[in-house]
Amino acid sequence: MQPQIIAQPLTAAAFAPFGDVLDCAGPPDRIINAGQCGRWHDRARLDMGPDGRAGISLFRSGLRRLPFVCDLLERHPLGAQGFVPMSMDAFMVIVAPDDAGRPGAIRTFLTAPGQGINILRNTWHGVLTPLSGPGLFAVIDRIGPGTNLHEHRLATPVTIVGQDAGQSAGQGAGQGAGQRAGQGLTRP
C-alpha cells in the first residue's frame, strides 16, 4: 500500500519554509487610484538569480482529483516560481524541502479560492494540480540561460487525500469545463 499524506489548508505560516502565500488577507498596505484600489504590496520573494529575469507565462492544466497519486517532484534551482490562478478556484500544492539533492518529507496544502503561491528557488514541488475550474494560471518564473528544471521520480509514490480521507474533491461539479479547458487532460 502506498503511503498517504493528508492535504492541509494553506496558511502563510505553514507554507513559509517553501515559499509565499499570495492573497489579500488583512487590510491593504496602501490605498491607490484615488481611493478606489487596495494594494497588498510586495507579497513574494521573487528570486530569479543573477542571469535571469521574471517572465509571465500562462499555463492550462487538466483537472486532478483526490485521492491523488504523486510520483514526480520537480525543482527549479535557478529561480522562484509563482502560480496565480486566473479564477477563484482552489488547487493543491505539493512541496518538499531539499535533502542532499533529493526531495525530503512531502507536505501538501489546499488553497482557498483567491490564493496563489510563490515557490522558492530550489524547493521541490509537484505538478500543477487544479481541483476545479478551468485550470488556467498566470505563472511568474525565471527566463534566462541554464538548466532550471530537475525532475525526480519517487521510488514509492504517495497518495494524497483530503482532511476527511473519504473526500473526493474535483469529482462531479465542474469536471466537464475542466476537460474542455484542459483539452481532455483530466486525470485521476
Distance CA 145, CA 133 (A): 34
pLDDT digits (tens, 9 = 90+) for 122-151: 999 999 999 999 999 999 999 999 999 999
- Residue 123 confidence (pLDDT): 97
> Domains of the chain (ranges plus CATH)?
4-24+39-165 (2.60.120.480)
- Residue 163 confidence (pLDDT): 81
- Residue 165 confidence (pLDDT): 55
Looking at every residue in the chain, the average pLDDT score rounds to 87
Torsion of the alpha carbons at 72, 184, 148 and 50, rounded to the nearest 10: -130
Under 8 Å CB-to-CB from 120, ≥6 apart: which residues? 18, 19, 20, 45, 47, 80
- Residue 127 confidence (pLDDT): 96
- Residue 136 confidence (pLDDT): 97
Q: Give ∠ CA 181-183-184 in degrees, rounded to 5.
A: 115
The list of the chain residues with pLDDT below 70 reads 1, 165-188
pTM: 0.83
